[in-house]
Chain A
Amino acid sequence: MSENRSFFRDTVERILTDTLDKADIDLAEEKRLLPAALHDALVENGITLMLVPEEQGGIGASLGDAAAILRLIGDAAAPGPILETMLGQKLLADAGFDLADRLVSLVFAETVALPAANATQWDEAALYDVPWAQAVDHILVIAREGDAARLIVTNAGDWTAAPLADAAGEPRDNLSAASITIRSASLPNYDALLRTAGILRGAQILGAIEWSFRRTVEYAGERKQFGREIGKFQAVQQMLAELAAHLLASASITEAAAEGQSPGLVAASRSRLGDAVDATITIAHQVHGAMGFSLEYALNSRTRRLMAWRDDYGSVLHWRRALAANFTELDRETFWLGVSDAGLAQAT
């Protein structure tokens, strides 16, 4: 691990310990309230500007560094548009726009009806599933234009929101507006942007799996039935061994994807995480018994986020199709070259 990364990790672990507890996570759901102390600390320490180059006022950290931080954020079940702000600020910088003061939201819009390329006004605008739309300054839209992307920047206050939420209870509103003012810029590669978001969400997923695994192993060592800890029963041990294997395998490919960032590794990571998510939800809850099903117990703050995140920024099935499409034109001899070549050069 690089020295920088250890520093970022130590900083964020300290911030999470100091500013976030279960009550904050619950308030985000019950009152749609961001944990203000957490987000203030992340903004003040420059964490939300990690991916912005230094010469544009950021930290210039690598995607691997950002993934390591989001893994901690996922582990802690920290609510709010943290990924969205990290990536959104980078895209604002890439497009040559001013950075936002605090938080932004961001949505990929593959099929939304868009305004004309040079328009400064967007009539009859609509967006769906927008995270924390009412808690941010700007809402960024990444729209597909052939192979390229268009970044559209809107003021959050210009939208009318129909409040909805994801499985974890975090806001994901549908937005509409008769006409709003926009700024837009072209960015080179839509699929590459989706992969970047996919890597970052993947890291968050991995963190939530990691927490669930740790907590479930601890619980199996605490809870007694038939006069002994349930973790002493082979049936429980077999389930937890299976969960450990899912965690280790998905961590290995997800770490590799965050460092290597090739289309194949990213798609493989999100596909593998999909299976790990399913196993985590099933096994962590089964081992916890009825206890884990209560709203009060912290397990659901992770497992419900796993439900919400599993198919974000490319569904599991999307990534599987994308991965397989890289291989179907290969033959019996070249197939192995595709597997062993970590670069997997073709775009997905």
Chain B
Amino acid sequence: MKAANLHLELPTLTPKAEALRQEVRAFIAEERSSGRLPPPRRIGLGFDKDMSRRIAQKGWIGLTWPKQYGGQERSALERYVLNEELLAAAVPVGAHWVADRQSGPVLLKFGTDAQRRFYLPRIAAGELTFSIGMSEPESGSDLASLKARADKVDGGWRLNGRKIWTTNAHHAQYIIVLARTSVAEGSRHEGLSQLIVDMTSPGISISPIVSMAHEHDFNEVLFEDVFVGDDALIGKEGNGWNQVSAELAFERSGPERWLSSFRLISELVDVLGPDVRPSSLEELGRLISHLLSLRQLSMSVASMLQQGKSPNMEASIVKDLGTKFEQEAVRVVRNIVSAEDLIANGRAERLRALLIHAQQYAPAFTIRGGTNEILRGIIARGIGLR
């Protein structure tokens, strides 16, 4: 690109990646025909521990990790293909998603060999659900202001603090907590550390937070004098901020940022049929053009990751555009439903249910995993403005 610091790769999918796509489609067809994958009535990632185990049996969790830790040593683009196929089919992957996407990679990058040997094969087997312990009641976008503390004690750490918006904490076996382990002397970003905490440890209490879509994904997690051993520290003490920044790049670049409401669009297309107003075609065409662009961009980011580059700004752009696309999709589907009179008098009941859920769910898209305003700050830094 002839523009400051913005990078693109024209992605090419190998025959191996396309072969994997066919394997995933065969798996999905089998799951559907056996009744284990009913058409969803909500958008977002479903949670199904048994589904995660079946996916693990195919070798599809930790796909890119070294074989010695239970992985398959496949490429980032192959992982991309696997994920887009699972997400587009609305396979409930929530039980292993965070562990596969970020907890495992963080352990792989910063963890000790003992930590890798203990956790990674279990994640790859679909046995572990991880939660992310970053946000706090008083620390959202300003993550470095967090107050959770881990004080050094004999043989480990004593953890105190409160984490919030913790997805799946009520299902998780482990949570990776970002906590202050020493007083910041220079930058606030110093003195933070990542600790891996067993959710069954004494002193942890979990309270559900029900979303405005009447769902219980989030929790508040209270840590009161929770003891964790020295082997709970991930990476270097005080290096937590850098580790978390790397982790958030994994979190931001994936196809879940623009495919979590895909089922709403495919359901609309199903109901719509070919005989539609030109204005509806124009709205739908615009939406699909954004979808195809995001897909190209996502594959480009996966190509760069594959080459060992760090496309942090490009990943932030995928998330900024992807989440706005998902909100836009809800608006467009709603408009076309209205223009074409699709759901009146009990017609298209599933589309109606999905649309109601999607409208309630959509505000979260541009907030979770870093608000779009924070992402645009990262982009502005990338293009040299800060």
Residue positions of A touching B, CB distance < 8 A: 71-72, 75, 207, 210, 213-214, 217, 220-221, 231-232, 234, 236-238, 240-242, 244-245, 247-253, 255-256, 259, 264-265, 267-269, 271-272, 275, 317, 319-325, 327-333, 335-336, 339-340
Contacts and interface: CB of A to CB of B under 8 A. Distances in A.
Contacts of A320: 281-286, 289
Interface string B131-167: 0000000000000000000000000000000000000
Nearest to B313: A244
A247 B6 CA distance: 9
Nearest to A265: B292
A237 B386 contact: yes
A213 B3 contact: yes
Interface stretch (B102-110, B170-178, B234-242, B371-379): B371-379
A336 B89 contact: yes
A340 B84 contact: yes
A328 B8 contact: no
Contact of B294 (A237, A249, A259, A324): A249
Contacts of B291: 339
B262 interface: yes
Nearest to B267: A332
Nearest to A320: B285
Between B1, B286, B373, B385, the greatest number of chain A beta carbons within 10 A of the residue's beta carbon is seen for B385
Nearest to B373: A238
A272 B290 contact: yes
Contact of A332 (B2, B39, B295, B377): B39
B384 interface: yes
A334 to B, nearest CB: 9
B5 to A, nearest CB: 9
B317 interface: yes
A231 B282 contact: no
A326 B386 CA distance: 44
B19 to A, nearest CB: 14
A328 B386 CA distance: 45
A335 B317 CA distance: 25
B379 A241 contact: yes
A320 B287 CA distance: 9
Q: Tell me whether chain A's interface is mostly helix, strand or loop, or mixed.
A: helix
B119 to A, nearest CB: 33
Interface in B5-36: 6, 8, 10, 21
Given A328-B269, A339-B295, A259 B10 contact: yes
Contacts of A240: 380, 383, 385
Contacts, number: 174
Interface of B: 1-4, 6, 8, 10, 21, 39, 84-85, 88-89, 262-263, 265-267, 269-270, 272-274, 276, 278, 281-286, 288-297, 300, 314, 317, 320-321, 373, 375-377, 379-380, 382-386
Nearest to A220: B385
Those 5 A-B pairs whose CB atoms lie nearest each other, nearest first: A320-B285, A271-B289, A241-B376, A324-B285, A237-B380
Given A241-B377, A275-B290, A339-B292, 8 more contacts: A213-B3, A249-B297, A252-B300, A256-B296, A271-B285, A275-B286, A332-B267, A340-B21
Nearest to A250: B293
A240 B289 CA distance: 22
A331 B269 contact: yes
B27 to A, nearest CB: 14
A324 B262 contact: no
13 contacts: A217-B4, A241-B383, A242-B376, A252-B300, A253-B292, A253-B297, A272-B293, A320-B286, A324-B282, A324-B285, A328-B273, A328-B281, A339-B88
A310 to B, nearest CB: 14
Between B89, B270, B286, the greatest number of chain A beta carbons within 10 A of the residue's beta carbon is seen for B286
B288 A268 contact: yes
Nearest to A238: B376
Contacts of B21: 340
A248 B282 contact: no
A339 B296 CA distance: 11
B297 A323 contact: no
A319 B84 contact: no
A165 to B, nearest CB: 28
B93 to A, nearest CB: 16
B96 to A, nearest CB: 21
A244 B266 contact: no
Given A253-B292, A320-B289, A217 B384 contact: yes
B285 A319 contact: yes
Contacts of A330: 269-270
Contacts of B278: 321
A234 B374 CA distance: 10
A205 B320 CA distance: 23
B384 A325 contact: no
A271 B286 contact: yes
Contacts of A322: 285
B285 A323 contact: yes
Contact of A232 (B84, B292, B300, B386): B386
B320 A245 contact: yes
Nearest to A237: B380
Contact of A248 (B89, B272, B295, B317): B317
Given A325-B281, A327-B269, A210 B2 contact: yes
Contacts of A323: 285, 288-289
Between B89, B285, B288, B375, the greatest number of chain A beta carbons within 10 A of the residue's beta carbon is seen for B285
A237 B376 contact: yes
Contacts of B320: 241-242, 245
A327 B288 contact: yes
A214 B292 contact: no
A324 B317 CA distance: 25
A42 B377 CA distance: 42
A321 B379 contact: no
A268 B285 CA distance: 8
Contacts of B282: 317, 320-321, 324
A231 B385 contact: yes
A71 B295 CA distance: 22
B289 to A, nearest CB: 4
Nearest to B296: A252
B272 A267 contact: no
B383 A249 contact: no
A256 B11 CA distance: 9
B384 A244 contact: no
B386 A321 contact: no
B285 A321 contact: yes
A138 to B, nearest CB: 33
B266 A336 contact: yes
B4 A214 contact: yes
Contacts of A72: 2
